[in-house]
Structure 1
Amino acid sequence: MDIINYKCPACGAPIEFNPRLGKFKCGYCFTEHTEEELTAYLEQLQAKAAAAAGASAASKAGSASGDASAAGSAAAAAAAGAGAAPGSGSTSADTQGGTSGDAGGNTGNGQQTVKVYQCANCGAEVVAGDTSTASFCYYCHSPVVITDRLQGEFKPDRIIPFTVDKKTAVQKFLEWAGKKKFTPNDFTSEMQQEKITGMYLPYWQADIDAKVDYHAVGVTVTRWTSGDRDYVKTDKYKIDRTGDIAVNNLQKLAFSKIDESLLNTITPYDESEIKNFSAGYLAGFFAEQYTEDKAAVTPALMAQAKSTAAVLIRESTSCAHFESEKDATSYTVRAQRYVLLPSWILTYIYHGKPYVFVVNGQTGKTCGELPLDKAKVALTSGILGLVFGTLMFLGGMFIW
């Protein structure tokens, strides 16, 4: 099975994860279900489907065996009549089927850019990008999870589910945009609001151990005034720091198709809410698999660990400056995890340039790039210039 359509255990309608409730809620019968309940129901359906498929295959095999036996006897008789040895002829049958296939998206070097899947709910084609792991059917609008892209090295270890729903994300966007005076008129239109998309983005997390071996001369400078004289006192201290530091939950975006610096502004996430990965949490959202593997991001994670350790070492002293530093601290990656983190993303194209607004799908922290309507800026500047000019003119009249 290449894709899964998650369905309500009560009525069979498509079902999505509801961030506000922290459960799955059916939009038809309005029943609520936990992740465990939905997973158990899905496993039950898959077991029934597998049993039915096995029975069907066994039935076809028995029928084919009987047909082959009869055909073999007839062929042997015909061969004997023609003077040929039994078994010198053969027959073959090709069967074709499946739920996925390539669709005009293969590049010259054979790299796949899009793939076509079949919606298990309505049978329509679902076209997915080369890194997509969750999407929607454009015909029946059912959420689909592409399971063959969540296996092996591409199966996430952990996930932080959405707690901010679309309504809240739109509200935060309107609050943010409402403070801006020179945005285009359609920047906050309903059509624009509908474009905001809930997406799980791939990150690598790491726990790194530091074996501290740091030596330096710490310097403190004290200044004071007595009477009409200024005094300066410089003290120097020998600093030796050895021991162990555990730097946990470092993270690095593993997706090259979005601006990492913008996403960094909505961190951190609350790691206490992280869960073991379950594909059900993807239902109702888009999701991407990593484009940068573990080895590619390890140097960046190691650099974060070094920076964090350096700050902790310096904060362990009361010195403001350091001289003759010798740092032989060694670092070891203790654990590394593939995780999916939630974001709401809105992209606005203005004069051919994309502007992006993002909301942390767990904490609600926001950040965005602002498009400026030059006509509004020019109009406001003109009005201010006219007012200023009028005041100058009137002021000149009173002076004279």
Structure 2
Amino acid sequence: MNTVQYKCPNCGAELTFDPEHQNFSCEYCDSTYTEAEMQQLYQNMEQQADQQADASAETLESETDDKAFENETRLYTCQNCGAQIIAEAETSATFCYYCHTPVVLAGRLTGEYKPAYVLPFAVTREAAVEKFHSWCKKRWFLPRSFTSEKQLEKMSGVYVPFWLTNCDAKTQVDALGKKERSWRDGDYQVTETKEFAVKRLAKIPYRGVPADGSQKIEDALMNAIEPFSYDKMKAFSMKYLSGFMAQKYDVPYDQILPRIHKRIDEHAVKTVEKSISGYSSHVVTSHNVQMENIQHDYALLPVWFMHYQYHGKNYDFAMNGQTGTQAGTPPLSWGKALLFSGVLAAAITGLAVLIGGLMFR
């Protein structure tokens, strides 16, 4: 079940966001709606919801953004794995994209959990499944159930919570540079080595450095499907979640900041180090990176996600919902691997017998 549902005004069926055409469509009556039309429809729905919830409440136009977000969203918690899913206020139940068990209503979300931005999906479900099949073809020993229709039904379009950081990295790199030259002097090979103290200073601007704010999803998995392009980023609106799932962040920014600093530290040093030239070799002896003018935003970024359990172990597959970049650790079918080994061994044995027979003729 989708976490957010909007009804078609023509037939009453569910409207979903179409990543391919960047609009909203109804699969039953083939109606389509532009972003502007959907915005108007969404505003009408919000006003009706406010009137039903509290006849004395102010109209939607007079509400603050945070208050509107609280009114239109609900938080669901998975009792099995603890994942927290954002849902529309009218949604009564859904399932956990991570472990596929039902979730229960946990309450409202406060305005502090309202994202500033959302990056809409650009990869459709059909394209995601096709890319997944191509990814699997390169891996010979996957369990058959990993690519079954039943398993693919569990592939979910999920808006993953990310913290995006802007800053200037004031970077100092100290290195030991060496210049070597060799020549022949009679019977001797002479090598002269000169050492130089090298220092480089730079201020490097960083914009939109991402780090996911979810404890359930492995950081390395999200890093592997980067980068995201922010040129299609939109101001957050619940309408973009239609047909998809979303997760509430459960790692606050102050806990994310050390991870961001480490990423920027490593990248800044490598960037500055590239400017060291004119030496036979060099070794970085020390460095210092200070993040200045730090700003951050909370955004939802699109990911096609699939969780798989095999022989008591968990395996996760992720695909960038904008670019289609894929990552994951696939399960290994020992049955297929042993069968292949047996066939290969038999082929080698047969070939050896054939060669041996030819040699003794």
TM-score range, shorter chain: 0.7 to 0.9
CA separation of 1:247 and 1:232: change in aligned 2, threshold 3 A? farther
Kindly report the root-mean-square deviation, in angstroms, between the aligned alpha carbons of the 2 structures: 3.8
Question: % of aligned pairs identical?
Answer: 32
The answer to whether the aligner puts 1:15 opposite 2:12 as a matched pair is no
Structure 1 residue 264: Cα displacement: 1.6
Do 1:119 and 1:126's aligned partners in 2 also have CA atoms closer than 8 Å? no
Return the letter of the residue paired with 1:340. Answer: L
Give unmatched runs, 5+ long, in structure 2. 58-72
Do 1:206 and 1:337's aligned partners in 2 also have CA atoms closer than 8 Å? yes
Give unmatched runs, 5+ long, in structure 1. 58-98, 107-111, 139-145
Other-structure match for 1:38: 38
Return the letter of the residue paired with 1:371. Answer: P
Structure 1 residue 273: Cα displacement: 2.1
Distance 1:371 1:230 in 2: 57
Other-structure match for 2:313: 353
Structure 1 residue 213: Cα displacement: 4.4
Other-structure match for 2:330: 370
Structure 1 residue 202: Cα displacement: 0.9
The count of aligned residue pairs is 337
TM-score by length of 2: 0.79
What does 1:107-126 correspond to in 2, within 5 Å?
A: 120=90, 125-126=92-93
Return the letter of the residue paired with 2:329. Answer: E
State the secondary structure of the residue aligned to 2:291: strand
Other-structure match for 1:285: 244
Greater Rg over alpha carbons, structure: 1
The answer to whether the aligner puts 1:200 opposite 2:167 as a matched pair is no
Distance 1:289 1:233 in 2: 62
Distance 1:182 1:323 in 2: 43
CA deviation string 1:69-128 (max 9, x = no partner) = xxxxxxxxxxxxxxxxxxxxxxxxxxxxxx98999969xxxxx9889999748xxx3257
What does 1:147-296 correspond to in 2, within 5 Å?
A: 148-149=108-109, 151-221=110-180, 232=191, 234-296=193-255
Distance 2:154 2:120 in 1: 21
Structure 1 residue 301: Cα displacement: 0.8
CA separation of 1:330 and 1:359: change in aligned 2, threshold 3 A? closer
Distance 1:296 1:54 in 2: 38
Return the letter of the residue paired with 1:15. Answer: L
Select between 244-253 and 200-209 the one with higher mean Cα deviation.
Answer: 244-253
Do 1:208 and 1:305's aligned partners in 2 also have CA atoms closer than 8 Å? no
Distance 1:223 1:258 in 2: 55
Return the letter of the residue paired with 1:348. Answer: Y
The answer to whether the aligner puts 1:322 opposite 2:283 as a matched pair is yes
Other-structure match for 1:336: 296
Distance 1:290 1:278 in 2: 17
Select between 364-373 and 240-249 the one with higher mean Cα deviation.
Answer: 240-249
CA separation of 1:20 and 1:221: change in aligned 2, threshold 3 A? farther
TM-score by length of 1: 0.72
Return the letter of the residue paired with 2:169. Answer: A
Return the letter of the residue paired with 1:38. Answer: M
CA separation of 1:101 and 1:205: change in aligned 2, threshold 3 A? closer
* Match for residue 382 of structure 1 among 329, 342, 359: 342
CA separation of 1:348 and 1:19: change in aligned 2, threshold 3 A? same
